[in-house]
Amino acid sequence: MGIRTFAVACALLLGTAVAPTAQARELSCKMTFQLSGWSVFYKTATGSGTVTCSNGQSMHVRLRAKGGGLTFGKTTIDHGIGKFTGVNSIADIKGHYANAEAHAGAEKSADAQVVTKGNVSLALSGKGRGWNLGIAFGAFIIE
* pLDDT value of residue 27: 93
CA atoms lying within 13 Å on the CB side of residue 125: 4
The domain ranges of the chain are 24-142
106 three-state secondary structure: strand
pLDDT tens-place string over residues 31-80: 999 988 887 777 788 999 999 999 999 999 999 988 876 667 788 888 88
* pLDDT value of residue 101: 66
Count of helices and strands (H, E) across the chain: 1, 4
| List of residues 6+ apart from 111 with CB closer than 8 A | 75, 77, 101, 103, 105, 124, 125, 126, 128
Of the listed ranges 14-23, 56-65, 95-104, 118-127, the one predicted with least confidence: 14-23
